[in-house]
Amino acid sequence: MPRQCRYFVPNIAQHVITRGIDRQAVFFHPQDYALYREALQDAATTNDCQVHAYVLMTNHVHLLVTPSQERSLPLMMQAMGRQYVQRVNARYGRTGTLWEGRYKASPVQDNYYLLACQRYIELNPVRARVVDAPGAYPYSSYAYHAAGVDDALITAHPCYLSLAQDHSSRQSAYRVLFQDVIDEKFLTRIRKTTNACGVIGDDRFKDQIEAMLGRRVPTGTRGRPTKSKRGRTEFSKNH
C-alpha cells in the first residue's frame, strides 16, 4: 500500500498524530510525560514551530502545530523523536524505537475548524474514558486554554486569542465550547481525514492548499462546521 503524502505548508496549522509501534505504550511513568514535553519544546524552538495544543496519551500523541518553514515540522518531529527515544531507552535499559515509522499530519483551516480540532485533541482522554472531564487529565493543553495554567510549551493560536479580549473572558468562552458532546459524525470525519493526511477545512481552503503546493491533495473533511446555540463547532452534515 502506498504511503500517504504529507503537506508541509508554512504558517498553516497541522493536526499531527504519532503512535507507538503496534499501538504499544510510549509513556511508562509520569516522569516520561515531562521528558516528552521537554524534548518537544526544544525541538519546536530549534525548528521554528509553534505548538498550540497537545494531548499525550499512553500510546499516542496529538499535536496542533504551525511550522514556519516547509521543513520545520518534519525536522521538529525527527529531533523530538530521537531525543525522547534516546533518553527513554537510557532510563529503562531498552533499545530500538518507540514510534511507528510515519506520523500523520493534516493542514487545518483557521477559525471554526481550528478550534474544533483543538477541542477534539483535548477531549481525547474523555473519549478514551480515562477521565470524566478534560480538566482532570494532566497531560494536555486544556488547563492552559481553559484555566490559564502556565505552559511554556504552548503558543496560543490567534483563533483562540480571538475568543475574547482578556484572559479570564477568553478562558470562560473556551470552557463553553466543551459543554456539549462532540457529534459522532465529526469524530469519524476528523479521524478519517487525519489518517488520510487530508485537509481539514472547506473547499476554498483545499483549493488554497493545492495552489500553494502545485498538486492535488486527498479529499478530507470539507464544509464549514456548524455552531450550536452555545458555540459548539461541528462539521456540517452535508459534507
- The structural domains of the chain, with segments of one domain joined by +, span 14-235
What are the φ/ψ torsions at residue 52 (nearest 5 degrees)?
A: -100, -30
Residue with cell 518534519: 74
The pLDDT, as a whole number, for residue 219 is 56
* Amino acid in the structure at residue 72: S
Helix boundaries (H) for the chain: 30-46, 72-92, 112-122, 124-127, 142-147, 158-161, 167-176, 184-195, 203-213
Q: Is the pTM of this model over 0.85?
A: yes
pLDDT, tens digit, 9 for 90 and up, residues 121-172: 999 999 999 999 999 999 999 999 999 999 999 999 999 999 999 999 999 9
Q: Indicate if the alpha-carbon torsion angle 104, 105, 111, 115 is positive or negative.
A: positive
Neighbouring-strand partners of residue 54: 63
Nearest to 109 by CA among 171, 141, 142, 66: 66
Residue 223 makes CB contacts below 8 A (sequence gap 6+) with 202, 203, 235, 236, 238, 239
Residue 115 makes CB contacts below 8 A (sequence gap 6+) with 159, 160, 177, 233
Q: How many CB atoms lie within 10 A of CB 125?
A: 22
Per mean pLDDT, which range of 77-86, 107-116, 206-215 is the poorest?
A: 206-215
Angle separating helix axes 30-46 and 72-92, nearest 10 degrees: 150
Task: State which of 32-36, 91-95, 179-183 shows the largest mean pLDDT.
Answer: 32-36
Helix boundaries (H) for 93-183: 112-122, 124-127, 142-147, 158-161, 167-176
**Are the CB atoms for 55 and 18 separated by under 8 Å?**
no
Nearest to 197 by CA among 90, 40, 73: 73
pLDDT reading at 39 higher than 70? yes
Angle separating helix axes 184-195 and 112-122, nearest 10 degrees: 90
The pLDDT, as a whole number, for residue 121 is 97
Fold of 14-235: Alpha-Beta Plaits (3.30.70)
